[in-house]
Amino acid sequence: MKLDRKEILNVLETITIAGEGKNMVESGAITNVLTFGNEVVVDVTLASPALHIRKRAEDDIKKILTERFGEEVIVKVNTKVVQPEKPTQAPIKGNELPGISNIVAVASGKGGVGKSTVTANLAVTLAKMGFRVGVLDADIYGPSMPIMFDVEHEKPISIDVDGRSKMKPIEAYGVKLLSIGFFTSPSQAVIWRGPMASKALNQMIFDANWGELDFLLIDLPPGTGDIHLSILQALPITGAVVVSTPQAVALADAKKGVSMFLSDAIKVPVLGIIENMAYFTPAELPENKYYIFGQDGARNLAADLDVRFLGEVPLIQSIREAGDYGRPAALQTNSHVEYIYEEITKNVVEETVLRNENLPPTEAVKITTMAGCSAVKKTS
C-alpha cells in the first residue's frame, strides 16, 4: 500500500492538542511527515512539557492513522518539547513626580541599625547646605520621623492646588515631612495588610503638595517586602543608601538589601553603604575607640559588593538624645557630629548626581557646588 503524505496530513488535521484548541497541523505541532513503504514517521513539537499531553498526542496520532490506513501501517511518533522563552522581566520603573530632582531611598536589611536616625540627619544636613528637602516616612508600621523632628502632635492640613485637594507636608528645620504617624495616635498600632499600606503610601506621595524639591529622602522599613516594591513601582528612585552596623547579623541582611536594589527586576543604583554605630568613644577618653559591634564590617561589605563606602557614624550618646528630643544631632553647629554628617552627605550628593540620568549638567554642577563637593561631570 502506498501512503500519501498529503492524505496523512489531512487526517492529522482532525486531532487537537489538549489545552490549545487548534489542530496539530494548523498549530505547527506537526513539523514533518515521512513515509517509507508501510511505515509513517511523524515529527511532533509540543510547547507543554506535561507528560500526559505528550502521551495523548502520540496515542491520538497512532490511533487515527491506524484506523484510516489499517493495522498493517507502522506508525512512529518522534516528540520534542520546546517551551517558549519567557520574556525578560523589565526593570520596575516608577512614575514621574514633577518638581522633585532626586529621590533617594534609605534602607536597611535589619531593624534597629539607626536607619531613621541617619535619614533625619542627612535631611537636616542637606537643608543646611541650602537644598530644598523632603522626607517621606515609608515605615508604615514603625514611623519615627514625627518624633525625631519634634512634630508628633502636628497634623497635615488640606490645601487646594489647581482645583485639587492636596496634603500639605509638615515642615521642621527646613525639611518637609509626611508620615503615617501624623494620622495615628502615638499608642495606636497600624494593623494593615500590604495593599492597604501601599495605598496609604501612594496617597502620601501623589496626594501631597511637595512643591519643588532638590532631594526627597524615603525612610524605608527594614527588610525587603511589599512596601519596598510599592515605592519602587510608584517612584523613579535615583538611588538607594543602605545603612548597617558592623555586626555580622546586620551585614548579612544589608547584603540582601543591596541585592534587592541591584536585581534585574528592580535595577535601582546603590549609592553606597553607611556604617552606623561604627565604634564608641567615651567623652573622657576622646582618643580611644571601642569597636563594640565589630570593626570595618560595612566598609568591607561595600568593597566586596563594589559599591561606595559613604562613611561611618560612631556610637555617640548625643545622637541618640537628639533624636529622642526631636532635634537631629547634625543641627549642632561646630560639633564633631555635624562634621561627620557633612562628609557623609557630600558623598551621597556626589553619587546621586552621578546616577541621575535625567539631571541636566548645569543642575549637576549647581548641586555639587552647593554641597561643597568637587563638581561631578555627569555621565550619559
* Length of the chain in terms of residues written: 380
Gyration radius from the chain CA atoms: 31
Q: What is the dihedral of CA 326, 328, 334, 340, to 10 degrees?
A: 160
114 is in an annotated binding site: yes
* Residue 176 to residue 209: CA distance in whole angstroms: 10
62 is in an annotated binding site: no
110 is in an annotated binding site: yes
CA of residue 30 relative to chain centroid, distance? 44
223 is in an annotated binding site: no
115 is in an annotated binding site: yes
**Would strands 133-137 and 213-219 be described as parallel, antiparallel, or unpaired?**
parallel
* Residue 138 to residue 217: CA distance in whole angstroms: 10
Spatial contact of 297 and 247, defined as CB atoms under 8 Å apart: yes
Spatial contact of 62 and 95, defined as CB atoms under 8 Å apart: no
28 is in an annotated binding site: no
374 is in an annotated binding site: no
- Could you tell me the three cell numbers for 325? 528630643
116 is in an annotated binding site: yes
DSSP string, 55-115: HHHHHHHHHHHHHHH-TT-EEEEEEEE-PPPPPPPPPP-PPP-TTEEEEEEEE-SSTTSSH
What are the strands of the beta sheet with 30-36, ordered from one edge? Answer: 30-36, 39-46, 74-81
Q: Which residues contact 292 (CB under 8 A, 6 or more apart)?
A: 277, 279, 280, 315
DSSP string, 159-203: EEETTEEEEEPEEETTEEEEEGGGSS-TT------HHHHHHHHHH
Binding residues: 109-116
**Which residues contribute to the annotated binding site for ATP?**
109-116
